[in-house]
Amino acid sequence: MNIIETAIRRPVTVSMFTLAALVFGLVLVGRLGFNLLPELSYPTLTVRTDFEGSAPAEVENLITRPLEGNLGTVKGLRQIRSVSKAGRSDIYLEFYWGTNIDLASLDVREKMDQVQLPLEVKPPTLLRFNPNNEPIIRLSLSQKLNPEDNPVQSLAKLRRFADLRLSRRLETVEGVAAAKASGGYEDQIQILLDQNYLSQLNLTVEDISQRLKSENINLSGGQIKNGHQQLLVRTFNEYQSLDDFANTIVLSKDNKIVKLKDIAKVEFTHKDPTAIIRHNGEQAVEIAIYKEGDANTVQVAKKLHAKLKLLEKDLPDNMKVVVLTDASKFIEQSISELRSSAVIGGILAMLIIYLFLGELRPTLIISATIPLSVIITFNLMYAANIDMNIMSLGGLALAIGMLVDNAIVVLENIDRKRQQGLTLYRAAAEGAKEVSGAITASTLTTIAVFLPLIFVEGIAGQLFRDQALTITFSLLVSLIIALTLIPMLAAKEITKKEQPLFVRNERSEFARIALFVPEFLFVILPWSIFWILKKFAQMILLIISIVIDKFIAKIFNAGYKFLSEKYHSLLDSSLASPAATLFIAIVIFASSLTLVSKLPKVVLPEMAQGELIIKIQQVPGTAIQLTDQRVVSLSKKLLQVKGIKEVFSIAGSGNKLTANPEQEGDNRAEFTLLLEKGISREQENQLLVELRLLLEQESNAITADVERPQLFNFATPLSIELFGYDMKSLKIAADSVIQKLEKSDRFIDLHSNMKSGYPEAQITFDQYKLAKLGIPMKQATQAVVNAIRGNKATRYRLKEQQIDVLVRLNNSSRDELQDVSNLIINPTSKHPVPLSSVASVTQTLGPSEIMRIDQQRVVVVEGQLLYGGLAEAIDDAQNLLASVKLPVGVNLLFGGQGEEMSRSFNSLMIALALAIFMVYLVMASQFESLLHPFIILFSIPLALTGAIVALYITHTEISVVVFLGLIMLAGIVVNNAIVLLDKINQLRLDGVEKIRAIREAAASRLRPILMTTLTTVLGMLPLATGISEGTEIRAPMAITVIGGLLVSTLLTLVVIPVMYQVMDRKDYAAIIERNQEL
C-alpha cells in the first residue's frame, strides 16, 4: 500500500499530523529572528596597531612590514592589504570563502605574537568585520544653550551624561551588545609642566608621571585582630580632588619641598577631540547602539524604544534625544512588503485556479496548500537556524505560486478520472498515483538546481543560502501535501446534516427557566451573531462569485477556448513542418542573445533605504576644527536641498566598532542624509545628481563623493590599482590615470588614496654630537615624545568616572616649530642641552598614507559611475587607459567590484551548468531514458529567451540576483515539459501511435500546464512590480523567472512535441510486450 492509498484510508491520521505540524509552525514562527540580511560570515580579519604620533613611513617600516611578513604565511589567505597612516597600521586579511575564520584567527594571533615590535607600541588587536556589527540605532543627544552657557562645558556635560547615564542604561536592554558614544568632549586632567623648572630641579616628564602613579594608589594590607574583631587594613591614598594633585610633593631636598603646583599647572579640561558630531549643523553627541550577534533586530529595537521613553523622563530640561537611524524600520517595512506580496500573489493564484476549475471546493482544496506549506515550512526553518529576513521571506514569496502546482496537477487528474466514471475513492487513488511520478520529478528538478549553490564563491553563496533552503523546504512540504492531504480531501463526499442546535423538549420546566439567562448570553447570542456574520460572508461571496461567473469567467472561458483551438491548430501545423518550427525557435533564441550586450552588469543592485552618504576629504594635516568648519558650511546648504529631511555629520574618526581599515582622520568627514519619507528611487537618482553638482561647487581643496549606503562590504565600482615602490612614480601614474578617465562623462567622484603629503616636523639627530655629550639616542627621542605627546600617568576616580591624567609640557613649550627646537632633552643634567644643538628640525611633507597589497606598495584610483553597468565601465576605462604610458616599475590592475563581479559571475556560471546537469540526472532517473531528458532540456534555452527580453524591457541590470533567477528558472521551466512527456509516454505504453499520443497528451495537459504557469507567474508578480523597501534585491529574480516562464511555456507547448516527434526512436511495442511478460 503506497502513501496515497494510506492517506485516503486514514484521513484522521493525516489530519492530526497536519494539525500538529501547523500548531508547531505557528509556535515556532514567533521564535524566528527578524533581521535585514542572513547571518553573513565575511572571511576577513583586520590587524590594527596604534602607534601614536608616528608618521606613515615610520608606521610602514616599523609595524606594517614586519607584521605582513609573518601574516603572509597564514593558511587560506587570498589577499593581504594594508594602510599605514599617521599613528595607525591596518592590515586587512581576506581569506577564501569557506575558510573557518575561528581557526584562522588563532593562526593569525600566533603569527602576531611572533613579531617583535618597538617597545612603545601597544600590542596589535585583531578585529573581525561583520555587516551585522553596524549599529541598529543611532541616537543624537543635544542641548539647548542659553546665552550665558559655555559651549565647551556644555558639550563636555553632554558627553559625560551620554557615557555615564544613557550608554550604561541602554546596555542593560536585552540583546544590546554595546552603546558607544562619540563626539562632545571627554574629561581629562592635564599636568602642564614648565621645562625651565624641570631643568632647574633635574626632573623629567617621566619622573613626574612615575611620582603621580605611585602616589595615586589604594592597596590592601591584609587583616589584623583587634580584640575580638577582624579588621581589614587598607592604605587609602587615591587623589580626591585637583588640589591633591597640585599638592603632590615631587621633590624633597635640603629641607625644601617642591610641590607639583610650583612647577606645573593642573587643569580639569578635556581630551583633544577625535570626532565632532553635528545634527542639522548643531553640535551633538552620537550614541551608536550595537546588538548581540544572534539577537532579533526588530525585537531589540522595540525594547530600546521602550527604554528611551523611560529615559526621556530623566533627561535634564534642556537636553533631548533624537533617533537618527533605526535599522528595524527598514526591516519591518521590507518584511511587511514581502508579506503583502505573498498574500496578493496567493489571492491571484486562487483566482486563476477558480477560473480554470469553475468550482469553489476544489479551488479551496488547492489554495489550502499555500498557507499549509508556508506554516509547516517554519518548522524546518527553525531547525535549519534560518531567520526571518528579506532573503528567506523572499524565497517564500517566490515559492507562493509554485506551491499549488503539484496540487493542481493531482486534483486536475483526479477530476479527469472522476469524469471517466470512476468512483470518488478510486478516482482519488488512481488519479494521484498516475501523476505522482511526474510531480515528484518536477519538484526534485526544482530543488536540485539549488544544490550547486554550495559551489558559488563570494557573497552570493552565503547571501542566497537562506532563500534556497526556504524554497526547497516549502516545495518539499507542498509535494507531501499533494500526495497525502489533497487525495484525502478529494475522496471525501460533502453531506449536509441538519441537526437542531438545542433540544429544549428534553429539559424540565425548572431547568429551562434556570438556564435561560446563561444560555441566552453564552450560547444563543454568540451563535446568532456568528450566524449573521456567516450569512453576511456567504452573501459577499455569492456577489463576488456572481460577478466572477457572469463577467470575468465568461471572458476567461471564451479566451481559454479560443487559445485551446488556436493551440491545437498551431500544434498540427508544427508537427507537419518540424524543420521550420525548430528553425524559428533557434532564430528567436539567437536574436535574444544579441540583447545581452545591451544589458548593464553589476554585482548587486543598489538598495534605496531613504539615506544617502557624502564623504569629504580635505588636504592631509588639516586640523579637525577646520574640517568641522567646512562641515558646518556644507550642512547649511544641504538642509536647503529639497528632499533632505535631516543632516547628520561626523568630522574625524568617531567611535566605531567596525573592523574595516576605513578612510578616517582629522581631515575627513562623513554626512548621513536622511531623506523625506516616501521619496521614490527616481527622485533619489535626481537628488544624487543635484548633490554632485553642489559638491563640485564646493570642491576647493576637498575631495567629495556621494553614494547610497552599502549593505555589503564592496569596494567602489571603479577601482584601479597601481603597483610600484617609488611613491613619486606612483603619484605621477595616478594623476595620469585620473586625467584620462575624466575625459569620459561616465566616471564621477574620481580620486586616489595618494593625496598631497602629510605635513611633518622631521627631527634628525646628530649621532656624533649626542655621543660627545654622553646623551643616549633613546633618552633624546623619549624626551621629545614625553614633552609633546605626553605621558598618561594615572587615572583620577570621580564618582563613576575614570579620568585620564596626562602629563606633558605646557602649550608655550611645544606648540610652535621653534618651541620644539628649544626642547631640553637632558633636563637631569647640570648643563641643559636644547634639541636644536644636537638635531636639525625641518618642516616637510611625508606621504598621507601608504597602501600595500600583497606586500607591495600601491596607489588606488577609485570612482563612481554616473550611468551604465560595471562591465561596460571597465571596458570603457580599459580603452581610455590603453594609451597611458606608465613610469618604469609601475603596473596597473583593475580591482574593486569588477574583480568581485568576475569571481561571482564565473562561479554562478558553473553553478548554472551544474544545476542543468542535476536536472538532467533527475529526469533521466524518472524516465529511465537518456534521450527524453535531453528533449526536455531544450525548454531551458527557450526560457533564457524570455528572461533576456524581460530584463531588457524592464531595464533591469544583470547581477548576482538575476543569475540566481536563471538557476531557479532552470528547475521550474522543465516541469511543464516533464508533465507533457510523461503523459505522452503513458499513452505510448497503452499502445497509442506517436503523433496521436502527442496530440492527446497536449490536449489533456494544456489546462494543468497553463494553470501552473499562471499561478507561478501571478504569485511572483507582486515581487516584480513592488516599489517599496528591499524591492531592488527581489524584483530582478522575479522578473527573470516570470519572463522566462511565460515565453518557455508558450514555446514548450509547441517545440517540445516537435522535438519528441523528431528525436524519439524508442520501440514501445517491444516494451509493452516485455511488460506483459513480466
> What local confidence, expressed as pLDDT, does residue 267 receive?
87
Q: In 816-947, which ranges are E strands?
A: 839-846, 849-853, 856-865, 891-894
Q: Which helix (H) or strand (E) holds 100?
A: none
| Torsion sign (Cα): 563, 565, 571, 577 | negative
Say yes or no: do domains 133-186+272-330 and 187-270+759-846 share a fold: no
Q: For 546-569, write each residue's pLDDT tens digit.
A: 665 666 667 777 777 888 888 888
Range from 184-188, 191-195, 331-335, 663-667 carrying the lowest mean pLDDT: 663-667
pTM: 0.71
At residue 504, the pLDDT reads: 47
Q: What is the pLDDT of residue 660?
A: 47
- For residue 159, what are the contacts with CB-CB under 8 A and spacing of at least 6? 181, 183, 184, 185, 186, 187, 285
**Residue 659 pLDDT > 50, yes or no?**
no
What are the percentages of helix, strand and coil residues in the chain, rounded to 5? 55, 20, 25
**Quick one: pLDDT at residue 596?**
85
CA geometry: angle 305, 308, 311, nearest 5 deg: 160
What does the buried/exposed string (b/e) look like for 200-237 if buried means 16 or more CB atoms within 10 Å of the residue's CB?
ebebbbbbbbebbbebbeeeeeeeeeeeeeeeeeeeee
Range in 97-101, 240-244, 1029-1033 with the lowest mean pLDDT: 1029-1033
Q: Is the pLDDT of residue 834 over 60?
A: yes
Instruction: Look at residue 597 and tell me whether its pLDDT is greater than 60.
Output: yes
Write down the pLDDT at residue 379.
92
**124: helix, coil or strand?**
coil
Residue type, 508: S
Q: What proportion of the chain, given as a percentage, has pLDDT over 70?
A: 88
Can you tell me the distance from the alpha carbon of 458 to that of 446, in angstroms, rounded to the nearest whole number?
23
277-302: average pLDDT: 84
**Is the CB of residue 67 less than 8 Å from the CB of residue 49?**
yes
Averaged pLDDT, 73-91: 85
Question: How high is the pLDDT of residue 20?
Answer: 92
pLDDT at 662 over 60: no
Q: What confidence tier does 661 reach under pLDDT thresholds 50, 70, 90?
A: very low
Q: Which fold has domain 44-129?
A: Alpha-Beta Plaits (3.30.70)
Identify the sign of the CA torsion 1066, 1068, 1070, 1071.
positive
Q: Please identify, in words, the CATH class of the domain defined by 133-186+272-330.
A: alpha beta
* Separation CA 974–CA 982 (nearest Å): 12
Window from 615-629, 755-769, 801-815 with minimum mean pLDDT: 755-769
**How far apart are alpha carbons 592 and 399 in whole angstroms?**
27
In this prediction, residue 494 carries a pLDDT of 45
Q: Does pLDDT of 1028 surpass 60?
A: no
- Give 856's contacts (C-beta < 8 A, 6+ positions apart): 723, 724, 725
**DSSP letter assigned to residue 163:** I
What pLDDT sits at residue 370?
84
Question: What's the pLDDT at 477?
Answer: 92
What pLDDT is recorded for position 497? 44
State the pairing for strand pair 88-95/44-50: antiparallel
- Determine the pLDDT at residue 657: 56
pLDDT at 654: 66
Give the mean pLDDT of 9-33: 88
- 29-37: average pLDDT: 77
Cβ–Cβ < 8 Å for 511, 32 = no
Evaluate if residue 495 carries a pLDDT over 60: no
Domain limits of the chain? Answer: 44-129, 133-186+272-330, 187-270+759-846
- Containing 973, the helix (H) or strand (E) segment is none
- Residues 161-180 as b or e (16 or more Cβ within 10 Å = b): bbbeebbeebeebebbbebb
- What is the model's pLDDT at position 24? 92
Q: Is pLDDT of 252 > 80?
A: yes
Instruction: Please answer whether residues 734 and 859 qualify as being in contact, where contact means their C-beta atoms are separated by less than 8 angstroms.
Output: yes
Name residues whose C-beta falls within 8 Å of residue 373's C-beta, 6 or more positions apart in sequence: 399, 403, 474, 477, 478, 481
Query: Phi first, then psi: what are they for 2, rounded to 5°?
Result: -85, 180
- Going by C-beta distance under 8 Å and a sequence separation of 6 or more, which residues neighbour residue 728? none
64/83 Cα distance (integer angstroms):
8
DSSP sequence for 804-848: EEEEEE-GGGTSSHHHHHT-BS-TTSSS--BHHHHEEEEEEEE-S
Q: Which fold has domain 187-270+759-846?
A: 3.30.2090
Write down the pLDDT at residue 755: 64
Q: What is the DSSP string of 408-420?
A: HHHHHHHHHHHHT
Q: Where are the alpha helices (DSSP H) in 273-368?
A: 297-313, 327-357, 360-367
- Rounded mean pLDDT of 78-96? 85
C-alpha distance across the termini of the chain, in Å:
20
Quick: pLDDT tens for 1046-1065.
Answer: 888 887 788 888 888 888 77
Lowest mean pLDDT segment, chosen from 241-245, 539-543, 853-857: 539-543
Give the separation between CA 825 and CA 822, rounded to whole angstroms.
Answer: 9
| pLDDT for residue 505 is more than 60 | no
Q: List Cα–Cα distances, 523 to 156, 514, 526, 531, 535, in angstroms.
A: 68, 14, 6, 12, 18
Q: Are 821 and 841 in contact (CB under 8 A)?
A: yes
Mean pLDDT of 184-195: 87
Average pLDDT in the chain: 80
CB 952 within 8 A of CB 869: no
Instruction: Tell me how far CA of residue 374 lies from CA of 27, 133, 600, 1037, in angstroms.
Output: 13, 31, 35, 20
Q: What is the pLDDT of residue 499?
A: 45
- Lookup result for grid cell 537556524: 385
Burial 424-444 (b: 16+ CB within 10 A, else e): ebebbbbbbbbbbebbbbbbb
pLDDT 10s digits, 362-395: 788 888 888 888 899 999 988 888 888 777 887 8
Q: What is the pLDDT of residues 840-893, one digit of tens each?
A: 888 777 667 788 888 888 888 888 777 777 777 888 888 888 888 888 888 888
In whole angstroms, what is the distance from residue 541 CA to residue 257 CA?
A: 100
- For residue 194, pLDDT over 70 is answered with yes
| Per-residue confidence (pLDDT) for residue 421, from 0 to 100 | 80
